[in-house]
Chains A and B, each alone.
Chain A
């Protein structure tokens, strides 16, 4: 945790400067397709930071986060289509449903450890995708379209990209602040203790089930908000676009690529991953369905072999060559150590 050595005022200034830069960026980048690219990075970053709360800090690797993303997207969209409810309320409702689902799913799944927990999350997400695909109520594989006849802040539908940019930036800031607050509180300490040595944590009075459920619930809530945003931005959702297994992998990969258990690692991970993804799309065209999975697989191998602590860890390694640099904390391979 090399960033711990940076004094707080410097960090606060750095964070504000970064935020100001992000807020001013679309004034320079005015091309809609490029603004869209920035929005995609912020969306990925938000999901990565949210995943990191349970997968990074608490060390409970979920490969089924698409389920929370999908719940968010479907809940806000259905509430808008059936009751005409504003997506602002719908997104919160989606978050609520997502938390309930996380509790129901976490209760049995957290009895499983390590790889088995990860496998259970894959299974749950796949089941939900199949159920939604076959649900007439949710229009199955046909998907749901948002109404095209209105726009504005009330319905959270815009004709230009710019408002979407600021909405997702706000959501990212909210997500980072949540992760930051957790990191600094006793909950963050408990998460790290559970990840390092669950038995020792129990001996110190930490209830594993309670704190794992807290981690999954907070993460699920924030992921669902990301899902609602996706629905508002694309104005169309179907099981393939919000519940697919590839989304779960992508969310986890963003955090792993950037640096698990670090506050801003996932932001960096999103920037790298989304950039590669977009360039490969121009290179191979959209015909090559499955190229994204090949890219994800290649990145997982590269991270595992060359920099288990992610891009942030790589930067830390470079810092070690600077004078006065101290050794950094254990790398991701240690942090993600999974006990059978």
Chain B
């Protein structure tokens, strides 16, 4: 079971009215793996996330999760299967408290409010937001809102979590804390794919890096391999 990949993407492509955002992308993600997804702006990282999480239906290719074809499934069924995500631009439920935000996530597995509250408190503690549990989500700082989104996603009991730029705009201390958080998510046996521009945040913790450029995968390897890959250097610095 553990040898089979958790997620297998095969020849995935996504075009919007002729504009190709993803082309022929193939890769695998294993259980509890930390995978960084990098690439210049407009490389198609968020589009890929949206395809994986069911927000977009791919134009071509297949997505298999735990051996099961999930291509074109809805976001809610992707969540039910165990794929959770955060949003690049935070989308907290602003009229709710931090705890209530996480409770909504927890209710995916257990509809009882009391149980959801317990789970929410545990996840808030996990991301270090216990002291802000009763604060309206709209009153949290952006950095706190990003952690709140992580807690909310974790409360759905995912097997794979897609983190979209959770380190953007954080100061060096916060980046270190975020890296540690990703590592602790890995220790819980949850795989993560992390879109990130903050290299010092992602490079030390990622087991593997995927690099996209102009919608296509140009590299797939360990952080050390990626850093020396001529195609990656050319994509970032221009050739």
Q: Give A residues with C-beta under 8 Å from B.
A: 1, 184-186, 189-190, 192-193, 195-197, 199-207, 261, 329-330, 334-335
Contact = CB atoms under 8 A, between A and B. Distances in A.
A193 B96 contact: yes
A220 B27 CA distance: 49
B152 interface: yes
A192 B94 CA distance: 10
B80 interface: yes
By Cβ-Cβ distance, the 7 closest A-B pairs, closest first, are A205-B79, A205-B108, A200-B91, A196-B93, A202-B75, A197-B91, A186-B111
A183 to B, nearest CB: 11
Contacts of B116: 186, 189
B85 A189 contact: no
A203 B75 contact: yes
B82 to A, nearest CB: 10
Contacts of A330: 94-95, 136, 138
B93 A197 contact: yes
Contacts of B200: none
A205 B156 contact: yes
B76 A197 contact: no
B113 A197 contact: no
Interface string B137-153: 01000000000010011
B92 A197 contact: yes
B104 A203 contact: no
A284 B107 CA distance: 54
B104 A206 contact: yes
B100 interface: yes
A186 B76 contact: no
Given A196-B95, A197-B92, A200-B91, A184 B113 contact: yes
Contacts of A335: 95
B175 interface: no
Given A184-B113, A203-B84, 11 more contacts: A186-B116, A189-B100, A193-B96, A196-B92, A200-B92, A204-B108, A204-B152, A204-B153, A329-B136, A330-B138, A335-B95
Contacts of A334: 94-95
B156 A193 contact: no
A211 to B, nearest CB: 10
A184 B112 CA distance: 10
Contacts of B75: 199, 202-203
Contacts of B103: 189
B95 A202 contact: no
B105 interface: yes
A231 to B, nearest CB: 37
B158 to A, nearest CB: 10
Interface string B164-188: 0000000000000000000000000
Contacts of A196: 92-96
A206 B91 contact: no
A85 to B, nearest CB: 37
B99 to A, nearest CB: 11
B94 A189 contact: no
A205 B75 CA distance: 7
A214 to B, nearest CB: 13
Contacts of A201: 93, 104
21 contacts: A189-B103, A189-B104, A189-B113, A193-B96, A193-B104, A196-B96, A197-B94, A199-B91, A200-B87, A200-B149, A202-B55, A202-B76, A202-B79, A203-B84, A204-B104, A204-B107, A204-B153, A204-B156, A205-B76, A205-B156, A334-B95
A206 B78 CA distance: 11
A71 B114 CA distance: 38
A83 to B, nearest CB: 40
Q: Which of A1, A193, A199 has the most CB of B within 10 A?
A: A193
A189 B108 CA distance: 12
B150 to A, nearest CB: 12
A199 B55 contact: yes
Interface in B182-209: none
B46 interface: no
Interface string B13-46: 0000000000000000000000000000000000
